[in-house]
Structure 1
Amino acid sequence: MLLLQFLQSELIVDVGLFENEEQIKNWLKSLPVTVEDDTYYLEGEQLSGYTEVNFESSRYPLTRYSFDSTESILINWFEVPIIPQINGMVEGATKVDAYMVENSEVKSYIETRDEAAAAITDYYTKQGKQVVRAGLNSEDGEYLLVDGAILTHLDSMFIDDWANSESVEAFIKQIEE
């Protein structure tokens, strides 16, 4: 199934589910859609006060009052898994802090991230330094502060570097450089 959405700034409007892309394109034919390089969008000022999009036996209400008329409305659709039909890990990605991680890698990503943060915290705490994890869900993501200064972000490069390091000391030396 494909989920059709209208996106504008922080606004996400889930329109509905369609069986295939052809159905979505047919549904969109009754709207003033612009297509550029496979990107579909509506201009906010082209929407009327109230419109019903009729498709097969359904009616969908659409109004310019739902959107900022000065901005374009991106039209997006993507595959949505039907959970009971999935055998194994659901495909896709999961937001971990400020980063997207493939679902098949989320568990090891989080375990490695937490292991590395704990090892670094232990290393600096033994030296009498204060270590704080901060910035969770911020724009740049979580990071480690050592005595009030940012040491490193807990991003995918951090995870990869940790996984490839020979020791805590070697890793610390690498991130301090």
Structure 2
Amino acid sequence: MKRTLAAAGLMAALTMAGCSQAPAEEAPAAAAAAVDVAAPAAPASAEPPASAAPAAAGAPAFAVIYPGGAPSGPATVARGPDGPGGILSFTTDATPEVVVDFYRRRAEAAGLASVMAMNTGEARAYGAAASDGSGKLLRVVATPVEDGPTSVQLDWTAGR
């Protein structure tokens, strides 16, 4: 439960930061978090299989469950002004770096551009969006759990 709340809090903070129109003053606590807008470097590790199950029925090719991931329940899906989208939480034995790299490569293959990457401790977050105004969006937050698997929160918008 704690990791779900932490992931939800981090996702909310990322969403709010991405939606802000005015520059915000950096809080002292935020200075401890390393923020990097460039795409993260690919980790030296085994490549996961290219095939992966869709995160939900009708989800775009970039919104898949990391191979071997175990969803904690069904995806929550909805339709908004930018098209259908959803959110899914799951766990995996892969490291946060490997998970984020997997989604970065899938996003780029689908024509999305990296718009945000953030490392806080061992947690990793990544976001990508279409530059064509279609509304396609991908965000992933991967958080290691002490003596456990990596907790992942994936959300997407398929676009108009």
With the shorter chain as reference, the TM-score category is under 0.3
| Between structures 1 and 2, the one with greater helix share | 1
| Greater C-alpha Rg | 1
